[in-house]
Amino acid sequence: MKNKLLYLTLTFMYLLVNAVFVLKYSIRIVTHGSLLVVLYLFAVPVVFWLLTRLPSRIFTNRTYIAIVIAFSVFMGIVFFIIPQESLRVDRYEMIKLFWDNTFSCINPYTPREHTNIPGPFPCYFILALPFYLLKEIGLLSLAGFLLFSYLLYVECQDIVDRNLCHDIVDKVL
């Protein structure tokens, strides 16, 4: 009982935090962001539950790679369709400000008019440089997703054996 309560609490916290971000960014591009939050809160648990219940002959390593590729292509298209400026994401502005200042021979931490000061994470800015040069910083998130997916793939070579996922879902439900 104690473990079930812990899993339910963690699941609730995870969904709540992500729902806040879904609402925060969805209302910037659609008029009814709250509907996307409801869809998110319904879809994520259902998809997770369904994936753990798929027969092992369906959810194979090949299926996992296909899902990762399909999601990556979709997100890559979305990144180029939705203008970064329309989202008003501070991260984009700070990376752009840091590198604009650097390439203009200005102290990278000098704020411009109506902006914040870039954060004190120079390694993050260095990681973001290739994406800044591509003029699509959103691809940094996609690169992080691909790296995480690869590490997950390497660590869980036997994806057919999803006992851990079954245990977690069973404890939550």
Nearest to 95 by CA among 74, 78, 116, 79: 116
Segment 9-42, tens digit of pLDDT = 888 888 889 899 888 878 877 888 888 889 989 9
Nearest to 14 by CA among 24, 22, 25, 4: 22
In this predicted structure, what is the pLDDT of residue 70? 92
Helices (H), the chain: 2-26, 33-53, 61-81, 84-87, 90-103, 122-133, 138-155, 163-172
Classify residue 12: in a domain, yes or no.
yes
Same domain, 84 and 108: yes
Same domain, 67 and 49: no
Q: How large a percentage of the chain has pLDDT more than 70?
A: 82
Same domain, 157 and 84: yes
Same domain, 125 and 142: yes
Classify residue 157: in a domain, yes or no.
yes
**Would you place residue 103 in the very low, low, confident or very high pLDDT band (cuts 50, 70, 90)?**
very high
Segment 47-80, tens digit of pLDDT = 877 777 777 777 777 888 888 899 999 988 888 8
Residue 117 DSSP symbol: P
Segments forming the whole domain that contains residue 89: 57-161
Q: How large a percentage of the chain has pLDDT more than 90?
A: 12
Whole-prediction pTM value?
0.64
In this predicted structure, what is the pLDDT of residue 94? 84
Provide the number of structural domains found in the chain.
Answer: 2
In this predicted structure, what is the pLDDT of residue 160? 44
Classify residue 64: in a domain, yes or no.
yes
**Across 87-113, average pLDDT:** 82
Classify residue 65: in a domain, yes or no.
yes
Same domain, 14 and 76: no
In this predicted structure, what is the pLDDT of residue 89? 65
Same domain, 43 and 61: no
In this predicted structure, what is the pLDDT of residue 158? 53
Q: Cα 25 to chain center, whole Å?
A: 12
Classify residue 71: in a domain, yes or no.
yes
Classify residue 15: in a domain, yes or no.
yes
Same domain, 61 and 48: no
